[in-house]
Structure formats: structure tokens, C-alpha cells
Chains A and B, each alone.
Chain A
């Protein structure tokens, strides 16, 4: 079965600080990887995704993530966070051939002005 671990449950940063949120998955086969974000009071929405090709993927609002196959990791990064990045971030994995995504437990990011 596929599973996802997000090690940081709550992260507090000051504006302009750099961000890296960890995500590790466990599945031996080929996977698609995702980061979703939930801003306060809003729907969950897709931030970025990796299917194949360049392991460094860029998403909306300056976010990027790097897929490292040997480490089963898909960490999310942003060089300089803004107060508006305050949200909960979820990593998700979908094994090829499966229909549903498996989500991690989420990381709550709080950016202080």
C-alpha cells in the first residue's frame, strides 16, 4: 500500500525566510506526486505535481518541489515566503494504476509579518 509521511507538523517562519517542507512516500513502483494547499477558509487546491521528466517541478506562487527517487522524497521549497503563504500544505502520492491519491498528515505553515 502507498503511504505518505510529512515530518513537519507546524512550521513558523518570518517573511522572506526560505521554506522547505519534507515529504517521503513509501511505494516501490512508479508514482505521481502532488502538493496541495489549503488557505484559511478556502478549498484545497493543487500547488504542483510531478508525473515524469525533470525532477524539479515548478508550481504556482513561486513554489517548487524536487523528486529524489533514491530517497522516496518530494520536498516542497520556496526561496522567500510571504505572509499570504500561511496555509496548510499536503503532500500526496498516487501509484500508477491506482485511482485514488493518498495524502500525508499535512504541515501547517504560519508566516509572521
Chain B
């Protein structure tokens, strides 16, 4: 089974801190994604990456950046955390190619910014 592992299940940070969320997948997937999940808003795409060192902005990239130095690891960075970034962050991965659009999700990181 594909495994997508997020480094922290719960995280509490202070306003202005730099925050790193880590995600690792073990199935050699080309694509990796960061979504945030908020009640009533569903999942919204922050950033995604389709190859090492390649990244594309999603629908809500403001206040975030990403890093993909190795194929298996995709990091989400909050440069200066703010209270409106309190959310559940979900990492996902998928293989490229038609018919391979199934996303495999991690268990999520609940981030609270105080």
C-alpha cells in the first residue's frame, strides 16, 4: 500500500514563526500536493509539484512556499505564520499518466497558530 507520511499530527505555533510541514511518500510518485482543509470550505490546493525542484501555485498560495529537493519529500513552509493559517493541512501524492489520477492522502497535520 502507498504510504504518505506527514511528520506531525498536531502542531502549535506562535504568530510570526516560520513553520515547516514535512511530507514523505514511499511509492516513487511524481506528483505531490499540499491542500488545506477547513470546515465548510472543503479542500483547497496550496501548491503542488510534478517533479523534483518543480512547483506550481495552487488556488491559495499566498503566505506559503514549498520545497521539493528529493522525489519522495515535499515540504510546505509558512514564512511567517498568521492566525488565519490555523487549519488542517493534507499532503497527497499520485503517479503521472492517464488513469493514475488517484490521490493518496496523508493523515493530516492540524496546525494551530496562536
Contact = CB atoms under 8 A, between A and B. Distances in A.
Interface of A: 4, 6, 9, 32, 34, 36, 43-46, 49, 51, 90, 92, 94, 99-106
Contacts of A44: 43, 90, 92, 103, 105
Contacts of B107: 43
B103 A9 contact: no
Nearest to A10: B40
* Consensus secondary structure, chain A interface: strand
B99 A51 contact: yes
A96 B36 CA distance: 23
Contacts of A9: 40
Given A6-B42, A32-B101, A90-B42, 4 more contacts: A43-B106, A49-B102, A100-B33, A104-B42
Given A43-B107, A94-B101, A99 B43 contact: no
Contact of A103 (B42, B56, B98, B102): B42
Given A90-B42, A106-B42, A101 B50 contact: no
Nearest to B44: A103
A51 to B, nearest CB: 7
B16 to A, nearest CB: 30
8 contacts: A44-B92, A46-B103, A51-B98, A99-B50, A99-B56, A100-B58, A103-B42, A106-B43
Which bracket fits the contact residues of B? 20 to 34
A47 to B, nearest CB: 11
B89 interface: no
Nearest to B30: A99
B43 A90 contact: yes
A99 B31 contact: yes
Given A100-B45, A100-B58, A103-B35, A43 B105 contact: yes
B12 interface: no
B45 A102 contact: yes
